[in-house]
Amino acid sequence: MSKKNPITVSSWTLGDVCSFEERVKAAKEAGYEGIGLRAETYVDALAEGLHDEDILAILDKYNIKVTEVEYITLWAEEERSYEQMYKEQICFHMCDLFGVGHINAGLMEDYPVDYTAQKLKELCQRAGKYIIGVEPMPYSGIPNLEKAWAVVEGSGCDNAAMILDTWHWVRADQPYNLLTKEQAKKVISIQINDAYERPYAASILRDESMHDRLAPGTGSKDTAGFLKMIKDAGVDPKVIGVEVISDEILSHGVAEAAAYTYEHTAKVIAEAWPEMSAE
C-alpha cells in the first residue's frame, strides 16, 4: 500500500470501547498504515492513565502512525460552548503531537452559505497552519458537494478543504461523475465504505450512518466507482480513511473488524487504483 496516501482505519471503525493499545495492535496486525483518532478517543487514552509520551511509545512499538484527526463541530454557532472550544484546541494539539496536517470537521446546523463560509473562515484562522476538511453529510447543514464547495470557496481560505466519504456521497444521491478537477484540488482526504441499496428513512438516516455501514466493496454502491472518480478528478488524498461504522462488524471484536475492513479495502484499491497498491 501507499506510504504517501496511508490506508487509515478511522476512529469509529474500531468503536470506542477498546484500549488505545488494543486499537493500535488491531490496526497494525490487519495491515493498516495509520489510525484515526477523534478528540474523544484521544481523551479516552488519557483517561486510561496514558500520557502523550506513552501514546507515542505505543505507536512506535507497533510502527504505526496517527494519520487522521477529528472531529470539530458546532463551529458556526454565534456563542460556542467552552466544551466545543476546548475540543477544538484538543484537535489542534493532536495534530501537533502526531504530525497530522488536517482536521475533519462537520456541521449539523443548517445556515446560509455566506454565513457558514464566514464561520469557516474564522475556524481556519484559528487553525493556523492546519487544514480544515469540511465533510458534507446528507443529514447535515452541509448536505452535499454543491454546498461544501460553495462554503469552502466562499471562505477564501487556503487552509479550507473538503473530505469526501463514499457513504455520504451515495446517500446524497450524487453520481460518480460529479466531482470536477477544480473541486478535486480542494479535497484533502477521503473516507471509503459501502452501503445497502435501499437507505434508511430520511428521518433516521443518521442512524444508518452511525450503526449500519458496510465494508468497501461489500454493498450495492460501487466503492470502486467512487475511488475511480476520485482518481480521475486528480485528487491526491493525504489519507485514505476506512470509515465503516457497523455494529454488526464490530460485534466480532476489534481485531476482526480491523482485519475484515482492511481485507476488503485492499481488494477495492487493487481494482480501482492499482497505483496505490504498487507504491
pLDDT tens-place string over residues 210-224 = 999 999 999 999 999
Sign for the pseudo-dihedral over CA of 16, 20, 24, 30: negative
Phi-psi region of 174 (alpha: psi -120 to 50; beta: other; left: phi over 0): beta
Cell of 192: 471509503
Q: Residue range 51-79: average pLDDT? A: 97
pLDDT above 70 covers a percentage of the chain that reads 98
pLDDT per residue as tens digits for the range 7-42 = 999 999 999 999 999 999 999 999 999 999 999 999
CATH superfamily entry for domain 7-278: Divalent-metal-dependent TIM barrel enzymes (3.20.20.150)
Residue 1: the pLDDT is 45
User: Tell me: the pLDDT tens digits for 120-173?
Assistant: 999 999 999 999 999 999 999 999 999 999 999 999 999 999 999 999 999 999
C-alpha 59/C-alpha 63 separation (Å) is 6
| pLDDT, tens digit, 9 for 90 and up, residues 193-206 | 999 999 999 999 99
- Quote the cell numbers at residue 185: 484540488
Residue 2, pLDDT score? 55
Q: Where are the alpha helices (DSSP H) in the chain?
A: 20-30, 39-47, 52-62, 82-98, 113-127, 145-155, 166-171, 181-184, 205-211, 223-233, 247-250, 254-272, 274-278
**Cβ proximity of 240 and 190 under 8 Å:** yes
Report domain extents, the chain: 7-278
